[in-house]
């Protein structure tokens, strides 16, 4: 098992620089010696802002050469996208006998050029750079690592003997149970480390190494060593990453339509959101390259503040579109990130809901520089209500997030962390992946039922692509320029509810002819009836 993830920040955080800027925390102490803190951003009016670029294509015509397309869907359902049936590149291969490698881990990628020397300080906001470690939080973590013989008069933790909860037994499927006895319950009800409890962190680190084999796993901390921290759902991790990176006026890249929660988190931060065109296979690298050509090689060389800070994407089963990035496109996008020196935020809550194996290699598995921040979630596979997610990325950046956690939520619920940790220890990686197989089979069946219902009722009224992952079907209504009124007013009268596509646009007032349908909760019979009602509604609107 790996070392517990306790922030080793006392000797690196809060040291003052010797420059004239005396009051600025020396964040660069945690970075390579050659780096320097970024200056305050220029006024918004001085920012170079590229044009919006072409509108989002809705067909395979924009596919980049060499893309590996999705397999064709089963007979009797909706038409497969153009180019379907060709093999997906970069498969995860089974491990050899005796190897500890996860059977879903991708094979080694071709050797890249020398890793870049990342200047993490240029990405960090002045607020994030000013964060210092909480002495009380660090003492709490040190106390939890100390031997029982230690007598501590330092902590402000309440005495667990006065708590009313004494023990718990949580029944698990297939006849097993998670037992939390009195001693473990005392710990479960107490404060814990801001990065996560040690045993869960250790399990997650090993799992990420075995599953993704990130090149950064063996780097030094200053080079961007892979680090993990637990968050209260992946949404908390995303919000803290955004607040760590975004100054007002910064340029950021994403492919919309995208998750409305991401847009809601980004808008108040005052950044310029640049939409990158995509199709059913995800971001189109050629379009991304065209947008990035706005910036010159001198901008890159001089680390211009106008350069995009990061690219945000949901690479598998995107919410709402169901799009999944192909391996070849990921490779092209990563090389563009290296060329223009931006980070990649790989928000992947549907990674474990890919319907076909082998699973696609991740950006994390390609990350030779330490420029990928990855979010994972247990919400879709263990529980959405327990609120457990985790961030994986370069240590200098993950440490910044942990400092934010110290002064906000303090830590994710110790009880839920212990409950999930006990389950994962009981299952092991093999049992966890077997559980995922059962979850995927359920959602695959649900998806197929929705596709059958769509083909039955909407074939001549709408267009869609079969999703290769996730929980959603993205439907374009023919002859309807904007679905907002159709869904929010008239659909309720027909007793059917979907989400109008405008909710996922950067500008939510922009018209959209799309709707999002979820196949996670409804039965096949309900899906059939819902699409019949939707079909009647569309016919009336036309």
Q: What is the pLDDT of residues 147-202, one digit of tens each?
A: 889 888 887 889 999 999 999 999 998 778 999 999 999 999 999 999 999 999 99
The pLDDT, as a whole number, for residue 436 is 97
Taking 90 as the threshold, does the pLDDT of residue 47 lie above it? no
What does the pLDDT average to over 20-39?
Answer: 36
Assign 113 a pLDDT band (cuts: 50, 70, 90).
Answer: low
The pLDDT, as a whole number, for residue 154 is 81
Q: What is the pLDDT of residues 279-328, one digit of tens each?
A: 999 999 999 999 999 999 899 888 887 899 999 999 999 999 999 999 99
The pLDDT, as a whole number, for residue 208 is 98
- Smallest CA-to-CA distance from 256 within 491, 535, 52, 50 is with 52
The pLDDT, as a whole number, for residue 108 is 53
Could you tell me where the beta strands, DSSP code E, fall in 276-339? 278-279, 282-283, 310-313
- Following DSSP, what letter does each residue of 236-289 receive, concatenated? HHHHHHHHHHPPTT-EEEE-SS--HHHHHHHGGGT-EEEEPPEETTEE-HHHHH
Choosing among 3.90.470.20, 1.10.274.10, 3.40.50.720, 3.90.1150.10, the CATH entry for 438-540 is 3.90.1150.10
Q: Is the pTM of this model over 0.85?
A: no
CATH class of the domain comprising 124-145+192-429: alpha beta
Q: What is the pLDDT of residues 384-443, one digit of tens each?
A: 999 999 999 999 999 999 999 999 999 999 999 999 999 999 999 999 999 999 999 999
Assign 142 a pLDDT band (cuts: 50, 70, 90).
Answer: confident
What does the pLDDT average to over 7-22?
Answer: 34
The pLDDT, as a whole number, for residue 224 is 95
Taking 90 as the threshold, does the pLDDT of residue 336 lie above it? yes
What does the pLDDT average to over 331-352?
Answer: 98
Taking 60 as the threshold, does the pLDDT of residue 524 lie above it? yes
Q: Which of 6-15, 71-80, 154-163, 326-335 has the highest mean pLDDT?
A: 326-335
Looking at per-residue pLDDT, the higher value among 115 and 478 belongs to 478
The pLDDT, as a whole number, for residue 115 is 76
Cα distances from 29 to residues 122, 135, 348, in angstroms, run: 14, 18, 31
d(CA 54, CA 283): 13
Domain boundaries along the sequence of the chain: 124-145+192-429, 160-190, 438-540
The pLDDT, as a whole number, for residue 40 is 40
Assign 83 a pLDDT band (cuts: 50, 70, 90).
Answer: very low
**Which secondary-structure segment (H or E) carries 392?**
strand 389-394
Of the chain, the percentage scoring pLDDT greater than 70 comes to 79
Assign 542 a pLDDT band (cuts: 50, 70, 90).
Answer: confident
What does the pLDDT average to over 258-283?
Answer: 96
Assign 485 a pLDDT band (cuts: 50, 70, 90).
Answer: very high
Assign 77 a pLDDT band (cuts: 50, 70, 90).
Answer: very low
Looking at per-residue pLDDT, the higher value among 33 and 438 belongs to 438
List all residues 6 or more positions away from 134 whose beta carbon is below 8 Å from its beta carbon.
403, 406, 407
Taking 80 as the threshold, does the pLDDT of residue 68 lie above it? no
Taking 70 as the threshold, does the pLDDT of residue 226 lie above it? yes
User: What pairing do the DSSP bridges indicate for beta strands 251-254 and 272-275?
Assistant: parallel
Looking at per-residue pLDDT, the higher value among 66 and 424 belongs to 424
The pLDDT, as a whole number, for residue 112 is 52
The pLDDT, as a whole number, for residue 101 is 47
Give yes or no on whether 124-145+192-429 and 438-540 have one common fold: no
Looking at per-residue pLDDT, the higher value among 96 and 290 belongs to 290
Taking 60 as the threshold, does the pLDDT of residue 32 lie above it? no
What does the pLDDT average to over 440-451?
Answer: 98
**Lowest-confidence pick of 144-158, 361-375, 474-488:** 144-158
Q: CA angle 257-377-228, nearest 5°?
A: 115
**Which secondary-structure segment (H or E) carries 170?**
strand 168-172
List all residues 6 or more positions away from 526 whose beta carbon is below 8 Å from its beta carbon.
none
What does the pLDDT average to over 511-532?
Answer: 98
CB atoms within 10 A of CB 508: 16
The pLDDT, as a whole number, for residue 148 is 85
Assign 27 a pLDDT band (cuts: 50, 70, 90).
Answer: very low
């Amino acid at each position: 098992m790996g070392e517990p993830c306790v922030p080793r920040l006392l000797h690196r955080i809060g040291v003052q620089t010797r420059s004239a800027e005396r009051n600025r925390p020396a964040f660069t102490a945690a970075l390579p010696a050659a780096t320097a803190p970024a200056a305050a951003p220029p006024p918004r009016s001085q920012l170079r802002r590229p044009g919006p670029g072409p509108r989002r294509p809705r067909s395979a015509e924009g596919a980049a050469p060499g893309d590996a397309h999705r397999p064709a869907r089963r007979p009797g359902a909706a038409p497969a996208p153009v180019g379907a049936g060709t093999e997906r590149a970069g498969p995860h291969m089974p491990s050899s006998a005796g190897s500890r490698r996860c059977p879903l881990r991708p094979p080694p990628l071709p050797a890249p050029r020398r890793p870049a020397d990342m200047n993490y300080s240029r990405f960090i906001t002045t607020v994030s750079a000013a964060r210092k470690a909480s002495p009380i939080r660090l003492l709490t973590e040190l106390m939890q690592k100390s031997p029982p013989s230690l007598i501590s008069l330092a902590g402000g933790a309440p005495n667990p003997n006065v708590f009313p909860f004494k023990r718990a037994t949580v029944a698990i499927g297939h006849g097993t149970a998670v037992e939390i006895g009195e001693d473990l319950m005392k710990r479960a009800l107490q404060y814990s480390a801001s990065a996560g409890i040690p045993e869960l962190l250790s399990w997650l680190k090993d799992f990420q190494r075995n599953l993704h084999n990130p090149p950064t796993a063996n780097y030094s901390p200053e080079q961007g060593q892979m680090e993990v921290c637990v968050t209260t759902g992946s949404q908390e991790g995303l919000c803290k990453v955004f607040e760590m990176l975004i100054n007002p006026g910064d340029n950021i890249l994403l492919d919309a339509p995208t998750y409305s929660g991401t847009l809601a988190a980004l808008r108040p931060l005052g950044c310029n959101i640049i939409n990158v065109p995509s199709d059913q296979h995800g971001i189109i690298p050629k379009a991304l390259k065209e947008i990035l050509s706005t910036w010159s090689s001198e901008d890159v060389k001089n680390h211009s503040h106008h350069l995009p800070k990061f690219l945000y994407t949901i690479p598998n089963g995107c919410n709402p579109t169901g799009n999944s990035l192909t391996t070849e496109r990921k490779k092209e996008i990563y090389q563009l990130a290296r060329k223009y020196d931006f980070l990649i935020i790989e928000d992947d809550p549907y990674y474990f809901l890919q319907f076909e194996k082998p699973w696609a290699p991740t950006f994390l598995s390609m990350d030779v520089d330490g420029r990928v921040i990855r979010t994972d979630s247990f919400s879709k596979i263990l529980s959405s209500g327990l609120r457990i997610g985790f961030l994986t990325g370069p240590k200098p950046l993950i440490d910044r997030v942990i400092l934010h956690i110290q002064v906000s939520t303090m830590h994710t619920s110790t009880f839920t962390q212990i409950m999930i940790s006990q389950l994962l220890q009981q299952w092991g990686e093999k049992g966890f992946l077997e559980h995922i197989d059962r979850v995927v089979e359920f959602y695959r069946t649900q998806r197929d039922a929705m596709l059958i219902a769509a083909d039955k009722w909407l074939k001549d009224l709408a267009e869609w692509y079969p999703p290769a992952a996730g929980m959603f079907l993205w439907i374009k209504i023919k002859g309807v320029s904007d679905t907002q009124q159709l869904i929010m007013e008239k659909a309720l009268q027909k007793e059917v509810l979907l989400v109008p596509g405008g909710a996922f646009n950067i500008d939510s007032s922009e018209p959209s002819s799309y709707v999002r349908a979820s196949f996670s909760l409804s039965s096949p019979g309900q899906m059939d009836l819902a699409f019949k009602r939707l079909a009647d509604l569309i016919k009336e609107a036309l």
